[in-house]
Every structure is written in C-alpha cells, then in structure tokens.
Amino acid sequence: MGNIEYSEQEVLRRESLVKLRELGIEPYPAALFPVNETAQSIKDQYDPEKENLQDVCIAGRIMSRRIMGAASFMELQDETGRMQVYVKRDEICPGEDKTMYNTVFKKLLDIGDIVGIKGFAFITQTGQLSVHAKELTLLSKSLKVLPIVKTDADGTVHDGFSDPELRYRQRYVDLIVNPQVKETFIKRAQIVATMREYFNEAGCLEVETPILQSIPGGATARPFITHHNALDIPLYLRIANELYLKRLIVGGYSGVYEFAKDFRNEGMDKTHNPEFTCMEIYVAYKDYIWMMEFVEKMLEKISLRVNGTTEVQIGEHKVDFKPPYRRLPILDAIKEYAGVDVSGMDEDELRATCKKLNVEVEPSMGKGKLIDAIFGEYAEKNLIEPTYIIDYPVEMSPLTKRHRSNPALTERFELFVCGKELANAYSELNDPIDQLERFEEQARLKSKGDDEAMFIDYDFVRALEYGMPPTSGLGMGIDRLTMFMTGQSTIQDVLFFPQMKPEKAVKKEEEKEQ
C-alpha cells in the first residue's frame, strides 16, 4: 500500500491475517452473526438461582486477555459495556483438533479484534458474572494497535487516550477506549428527541429547507460560496434557515421547525465550528414574551430528561434551568456592567464610548455592532444563570418587529448561560416595507466593508407582501445546548467529527517547530 510504514506490531498483525486465511478462517466473514444479548442485558437479566440465559450470543471487541494453559479469560466490549468471557480449550474445540484454541485464540487473535461468542451466563468462583464460551467466531481482525488505557485500584487512569488532537481526529478510537465519551452523544440524541416531542406536542411540523441558497439570509455571518455548474450560478451554503421557515408561515402553517446544518465561514475556537446544528422554530400568532415561557419549559424538560435534575454543573458553575429566568434589557445590562448609558447615542458617540471603554472596533461597524461590542466586552461574561437579554436596538436586529412601546427598540431576546449565547428569538418583523428598508441599511453596511451584513432578499420581501401573521421565532444552537447539558467545555467534545486541519498541514507545522 504505497509507502506506508508499519510498526512492528502492525506487521505482526498482518502476518496473523495471512496465517488465519491459510488455516481457512476468513478474518472478515460476510455471514450474519445472530446476537441476542448485550453485556448490559446479561447483567440486568441473569439470575444465578434460576440459571437462566443458557443460550447467549454476544459480540464485541477484545479489550483484554488472560491466557492460562487450557483455559483463559478475555474481556469483551460492546456498545453497552464490558463482559468477561471464559474460554476453555475443550469447549470451543470438542474434537481432536485444538487449532481454534491453541493457534487461533492464543496466537493469532489480538486486543481490538471483534469476535462473536455463543455460550451461557454463569458466575465464576470469584463471583464474577461471565459468559462461558461454547463457540468463538472471528468477525473482524484489527490491524491497528489500540491504546491501552489502564485504571489502577485508586481509579487513576494511566496511558489514557487524552490528546485532543488525536481524540477529535480519530473519534472511532476515542469511542472505543474512552467509553464515557459515548454518554455525551447519547445525551445529545436525548436532547434532540426531547425537543422534537415538545414541539410536536405543541402542534408544530418538522420540515426541511434548502442548504444551497442563492442568497444566504437569516443571519449576519460570512458564508461559504460554491458554484452550480448546470445553472452556472454561485450558490451559498446556508448560514441560517430563518427566511425559508417564515415563507412557510406565510404559506399557512401555524408552526414549523427544523434541525438544520448551518455553515459559517468564520473563526474556529472552543465554542465555534464552521459547520454546526441549529434548531429554528416559528409559531404564528405568538410573540417573544410567549416564546420566553415556551423556552423555559423546554429547557427544564430537557434537563430533567438528560440529567434527572434542573441543576447542571457547567465548568465551575452550577446552573439551574428551572424557570423563571431573569429578563434584562440590553441597554440596562450595559449600564449595569459597563457603567455607561448608551441609549440615544449616535454612531460617532458610540465609537467614542468604545474608545473610552477600550473596546476594539472596526471602521465598518455601524450602531448595532458597536453596541454589541460593548455588551460583549462588559456584560456577557457576567450572565451565568440563564438570563434573557431583551429589547435590542433596531440597528442590531434587521429581521425583528419594532417594540410595541418604543420604536427605537425591537422585540427580541437572546438567552445567555455561563456567559455564552444559547438562543436568539424575535417577535418577527412582518411589515414588508420596514423589512425592505432594514435590508437596504444592511446593504449600506456591506458597501462599507461589513462582509457579515445581510444580502437583500427581494423574494422574501415579496412573500411578506402577501401577508405573514404575527409570529414568534427562535433559533437555538444544539451543539452549545449539548455542551451545557453535558458539562463539556469545548464544542469539539459534542461533535463526533469536528473540523480539523488536514493531517499533512499539522505535520508540516510540527516539523517547522522542530
């Protein structure tokens, strides 16, 4: 295989592969293996007094072996955990030919190989629940050497597979040797399932909208761009699905939601990945006040389902998702944490205030981004308990309905937890004339160099001209929600396969450093 260099252990495993075939044993058989139990189901069901589970068929990966003459033990790992297996030579080789035990099991099988066992459950003399093997079948030969993670009597882990670069790049190995990682992704699935149940019970319909879009709308972000050969036009990977979902509200659905893969061509850090999952939901005849209560009840339900309590440990903070959550206007938050009143300031005054507060800004920033910069620098980090930041200035919210009592503000909230934004919601703007003016202001910002400003979506404006009912909308990042609910500190720990630099680029950087 080209110029690939194998370690000594990898060479030995390949030699074992050849010897197995010479013995007439296919290392990668195609036949079905009739698994009927798992490690956990055996633990749950076995009753030594009844001596049940006498026809057990399990499969898994060999994680350890103790060879002892004519009888041996090995530990098998499947999706549910580990199970000890007792292998006796004369049981798996009842005839004169002892090759399966003496040669195959003792010499040609390795830790990491996947095998199938047929036998029965029993308790060993030392009190260990085990499976007594009657038949052993090789199902897949492992050609790579697994990292051996050892835990001593005190619970201290030695030789752990803990390097983040390797764990994220080789998630398949991470899942094998660090079983606790599986729990995070099981909880992620439970979070999504709970949200679906909650939305469906509320009468909302799950839908799908385009990922390839001619205009990337619904958020202020830098998009990925590609080209469609047949149509000979540029297309963008969606940065949000908002405008399509609101078109469906125009079309007559009373509530729609989507778990969407979104893409933003921006920086990567512990809380951002260029590809991420966002849930957006839109409900007709509701407003942002209704949505706050709707979200509180949902998060309480999720926390109880996933963790059995509303209190979750997130880093050094214990956060309680039990409603109600604090509601704090953004201008009041800036006044509280930055000590300045920015309400009524024009762009020049805001820029001067940023300079006074040592907040870094760009020349392309308009009023909305300047206010957001001050808020981000001074207020966000203080919002530990779930907190709704509400009533954003109109310049910060191009798709949001103006506030019913103050037209300089909008009916918008963002939910913050542990200093990070978790959700963004509006009373949706449904005035087509106002919406076009907001888009035109975004175009002005884009002409000044703001490459995150929105495009003008004339078709969306046309949809609004047919009439969209009063609507409340919400966007929530599933990756970040999973981080909070599982106590993980980086987004990479809740994504099976986070975006990484190519291995060749990493190796070149390492060579330069040396």
In this prediction, residue 455 carries a pLDDT of 86
**AA letter at 9:** Q
232: left (phi over 0), alpha (psi -120 to 50) or beta: left
Please say if the pLDDT value at position 511 is more than 80: no
- Pairing, β 157-158 against β 275-284: unpaired
Residue 390 has which token pair?
Answer: 């509400």
In this prediction, residue 509 carries a pLDDT of 60
Sequence-distant (6+) residues with CB within 8 A of 163 are: none
Percentage of the chain exceeding pLDDT 70: 96
pLDDT per position as a tens digit, 411-434 = 999 999 999 999 999 999 999 999
In this prediction, residue 504 carries a pLDDT of 67
Least confident of 225-239, 350-364, 452-466, 500-514: 500-514
Please say if the pLDDT value at position 222 is more than 70: yes
CB 479 within 8 A of CB 495: yes
Please state, as a whole number, how many other Cβ atoms lie within 10 Å of the Cβ of residue 36.
11
Least confident of 29-38, 158-167, 265-274: 158-167
Residue 226 has which token pair?
Answer: 């590609």
In this prediction, residue 148 carries a pLDDT of 79
CB 209 within 8 A of CB 241: yes
Please say if the pLDDT value at position 151 is more than 70: no
CB 217 within 8 A of CB 459: no
Give the confidence band of 156 by pLDDT, cuts at 50, 70, 90.
low
In this prediction, residue 296 carries a pLDDT of 98
Strand blocks (E) in 394-507? 412-417, 420-427, 471-477
Return the bridge partners of 327, or none.
388
Sequence-distant (6+) residues with CB within 8 A of 37 are: 45, 53, 56, 57, 58
Tell me what the pLDDT averaged over the chain comes to.
93
Please say if the pLDDT value at position 396 is more than 60: yes
Give the confidence band of 158 by pLDDT, cuts at 50, 70, 90.
low
Give the confidence band of 192 by pLDDT, cuts at 50, 70, 90.
very high
Which DSSP letter does residue 350 get?
H
pTM: 0.90
Percentage of the chain exceeding pLDDT 90: 81
In this prediction, residue 454 carries a pLDDT of 84
Region 441-460: mean pLDDT is: 86
Indicate if the alpha-carbon torsion angle 286, 287, 288, 290 is positive or negative.
Answer: negative
Please state, as a whole number, how many other Cβ atoms lie within 10 Å of the Cβ of residue 384.
16
In this prediction, residue 482 carries a pLDDT of 97
Please say if the pLDDT value at position 152 is more than 80: no
In this prediction, residue 94 carries a pLDDT of 93
CB 117 within 8 A of CB 123: no
Residue with tokens 């752990």: 160
Cis status, amide bond into 498, omega within 30 of 0: no
Residue 122 has which token pair?
Answer: 């029993």
Report how far Cα 378 is from the mean position of its chain's Cα atoms.
Answer: 28
Domains of the chain: 8-151 (2.40.50.140), 181-321+464-511 (3.30.930.10)
Q: Provide the 3-class DSSP secondary structure of residue 17.
A: helix
Give the confidence band of 219 by pLDDT, cuts at 50, 70, 90.
confident
Please state, as a whole number, how many other Cβ atoms lie within 10 Å of the Cβ of residue 475.
22
Indicate if the alpha-carbon torsion angle 138, 12, 161, 174 is positive or negative.
Answer: negative
**Spatial distance between the Cα atoms of 230 and 502, rounded to a whole number of angstroms:** 30
pLDDT per position as a tens digit, 100-147 = 999 999 999 999 999 999 999 999 999 999 999 999 999 999 999 998
Residue 454 has which token pair?
Answer: 């929105």
In this prediction, residue 101 carries a pLDDT of 94
In this prediction, residue 159 carries a pLDDT of 62
Region 82-108: mean pLDDT is: 95
CB 369 within 8 A of CB 405: no
